[in-house]
Amino acid sequence: MLTVGLAAMFKGALLLVWGGNLYTYPDLLPEFLSWSWGVVQVPPVYVSAIFMGVVFLLLFGLFFKYSSQGIYMRSVADNQSAALSLGVHVRRVFALSWAIAALVAESAGLFSVLSTASNVHELSSIGLKVFPVVILGGLDSIGGAIIGGIIIGLLETMTGGYLSRLCGM
């Protein structure tokens, strides 16, 4: 509920500052990054987003498995008081986890804005897409979150195409 309330407050602040106009950004990525398979065309922004998503997954997987800070983060997530008793600086781990979350959110926002035109009303609906992914994939499973995100994304795309055809007839 707090997330929904904060989203409404931020939406109001954005409307107050920038208004409800539609903003588009120029194509910043070169055209040679696009993929095409027959009639299927994938724009460069989606190819770059997929590439960066895979890079983030690999880097975070290696980080959490092999680096000392990643192991500290897993230990704090598992049992905070035990990690504290073993000498893990818990506040530093929390600060690092918030910094990583900000980096990932910034990257996702960048690719979201580059892939479509942005306005306040579209941006506020993005946060609501997280809830079904979390319910489907779970909070404690990276693989579940990936599979949940893919399932929700495919369902959203397929139902959007189906409903547009249904309403067009």
Give the amino acid at 98.
W
- For residue 134, give its domain range: 127-169
Q: pLDDT for 111-167, tens place per residue?
A: 777 777 666 666 666 667 777 887 887 777 778 888 888 888 888 878 876 776 666
Whether residue 111 sits in one domain with residue 60? yes
Q: Which of 57, 49, 150 is nearest to 107 (CA)?
A: 49
CA atoms within 13 A on the CB side of 94: 6
Is residue 157 located within the same domain as residue 85?
A: no
Question: HSE on the CB side for 87, CA within 13 Å?
Answer: 1
CA pair distance 112, 106, nearest whole angstrom: 10
* Helices 142-168, 44-66: inter-axial angle, 10-degree rounding: 160
Going from the C-alpha of 111 to that of each of 52, 91, 118, the distances in angstroms are 10, 31, 11
Q: 94 and 167 in one domain?
A: no
Q: Are residues 109 and 150 in the same domain?
A: no
Q: Tell me how far CA of residue 6 lies from CA of 1, 21, 45, 95, in angstroms.
A: 9, 21, 29, 21
77 versus 162: the higher-pLDDT residue is 77
pLDDT at 24: 66
Report which residue type is found at 72. Y
Identify residue 133 by its one-letter amino acid code: V
Through-space distance between the first and last CA atoms of the chain, rounded to whole angstroms: 38
Tokens found for residue 166: 């249904």
Pair 82, 107 in one domain: yes
pLDDT digits (tens, 9 = 90+) for 13-70: 878 887 777 666 667 777 888 888 888 888 888 888 888 888 988 998 899 889 999 9
63 and 132 housed in the same domain? no
